[in-house]
Structure 1
Amino acid sequence: MPRTVRVVWTTREHADRRAEAARLVRAATGCTLRHGPCSRCGGDHGRPRLEEGGSVSLAYAGDLVVAALADDGDIGVDVEEGSASASARIERLAPGSTLRDWTRFEAATKAVGADLRDGAHLPAVVEGEDWQTDVAGRLVHGWDVDAPTGYVISVARAAAAAPDRSTS
């Protein structure tokens, strides 16, 4: 699995966050950002993609717009405003959870297109700042990114899904 991932961000100044994300991605890659259909309602606010190919994940917090970009594979990113050690909103799932735990969780679930209902677990730190977890039956590898002051950013890449070997 290639590990070539770029994380870029910008602050939005009175612009719509989706418009700012499109400008950010275009400036970083030269590619057009598109949104797939929402898996729940069919609206045009589903998983983002690059029209010219490649993988992209977007996250927003306050005035910060973040994009994680990869040539291939499934990627996820999350950003939250605050201190990495601050108490997180997943306290109900895992007592003592921090904002860093939350960004890791969100990045991992985005990497596989999952959410809380898919039985995701908090990532386990395995070496330094690297971590891994299993989400919806897929192994996800992640790491933390140096973020602007007052923000926490985590990125995740999903391991390739095992091929379907069933026969009909």
Structure 2
Amino acid sequence: MYQPHEFAPTDTGYRGPVPSWEPGAPSLWLVDARQEGERARRLAPDILDDEELGRAGSLVVEADRLCYLASHVALRMLLGARLGVAPAAVPLRREPCPSCGGPHGRPATDGGVHFSLSHTRGIALLAFAGTPVGADVEATPQARTVAEIGDQLHPAERRELAELPEDQRPAAFVRAWTRKEAYLKGTGFGLAGGLSHDHLGTGPHPQPGPAGWTVTDVAVPAGHAAAVAVRTAGRAPATAADRRK
């Protein structure tokens, strides 16, 4: 299990560690939006672009707006620190979708840095690596949510959930969900890639990831689960054939 850095900027910028990694291992940051949200609100006009500011402004719930601002300010500050440019100057774009070729694949930037951002109300997880990477953080759902959408998982994971006492199923479900979503975000397919194709497990430790990927859990506050998936160096970009049946 990875232990992420805690993101803590000042009102004049970020002075903490710069994202760095070994081959096959991501660099991770946790953002506490409840603590950093107001500072991010002050910094955002000088850091985020018009699209990001517009997206934040469209969020109705204040907690969601602050989490968006805190996570995107953190992303630009950390990328800027790695690339040696001002946060506002970080060039962000979308790669082609590996399924249809449309401009809605993995988020990307120039300079050989791959990254992924995930947030749930109150906290965000950022991952950086030298190869494609996906991250996901989620709050543990209520039991009725597990009952409603648990059948989207791999058949083996559905059996694992069914064998558990009901009060243990939400934590087991969210472990599997974050592992799946981290992997799918790393490939560029996202949830459209389907949650039933790969068995990553509901237990305390992930099953071996799909060929060419390493999936690892991430330490996050109680009541949440998180995971990160990193593509093995040298593997070709994902295609539709990577979706194992």
- State the superposition RMSD in angstroms: 3.4
Shift of 1:37: 5.7
* Percentage of identical aligned residues: 23
Q: In the TM superposition, what is the alpha-carbon distance from 1:33 to its structure 2 partner?
A: 6.1
| Cα offsets for 1:20-44 (capped at 9, x unmatched) | 333212333414361316747956x
TM-score normalised over the length of structure 1: 0.72
The alpha-carbon distance between structure 1 residues 22 and 53, as it changes in their structure 2 partners (threshold 3 A), is farther
SS at match of 2:27: strand
CA separation of 1:103/1:141 partners in 2, compared to 1, >3 Å: closer, same or farther? same
Counterpart-to-counterpart distance in 2, 1:67 and 1:149? 18
The equivalences for 1:48-59 within 5 A come to 48-59=107-118
The residue number in structure 2 matching 1:2 is 23
After superposition, what is the alpha-carbon deviation per residue over 1:88-139, rounded to whole angstroms, capped at 9, x for unaligned? 764113422611000000011111112455463231489x7354232xxx53
Amino acid at match of 1:161: R
List gaps (5 residues or longer) in structure 2.
1-21, 42-55, 57-66, 84-89, 162-171, 238-245
Instruction: Tell me how far apart the structure 2 counterparts of residues 105 and 58 of structure 1 sit (CA, whole Å).
Output: 15
CA distance in 2 between partners of 1:139 and 1:88 (Å): 32
Secondary structure of the 2:209 match is: strand
Give the corresponding residue for 2:77. 27
Structure with the larger strand share: 1
Measure the CA separation in 1 of the matches of 2:198 and 2:107: 23
Call closer, same or farther: CA 1:67–1:110 in 2, change over 3 Å: same
Change over 3 Å in CA distance of 1:41–1:158 after alignment to 2: closer
Structure number, greater radius of gyration: 2
1:102 to 162, 165, 177: 177
Structure 1: which 5+ residue stretches go unaligned?
Answer: 164-168
Equivalent residue pairs, number? 156
Instruction: Check if 1:146 corresponds to 2:204.
Output: no
Query: For residues 10-159 of structure 1, what are the structure 2 equivalents within 5 Å?
Result: 10-12=31-33, 13=37, 15=41, 16=56, 17-29=67-79, 30=81, 31=83, 32=90, 34-36=92-94, 39=97, 46-70=105-129, 72-82=130-140, 87=146, 90-94=149-153, 95=158, 96=161, 98-118=173-193, 120-124=197-201, 129-134=205-210, 138-159=211-232
Taking structure 2 as the reference length, the TM-score comes to 0.52
The corresponding residue for 1:166 is none
**Aligned equivalents of 1:2 and 1:41: distance in 2?**
28
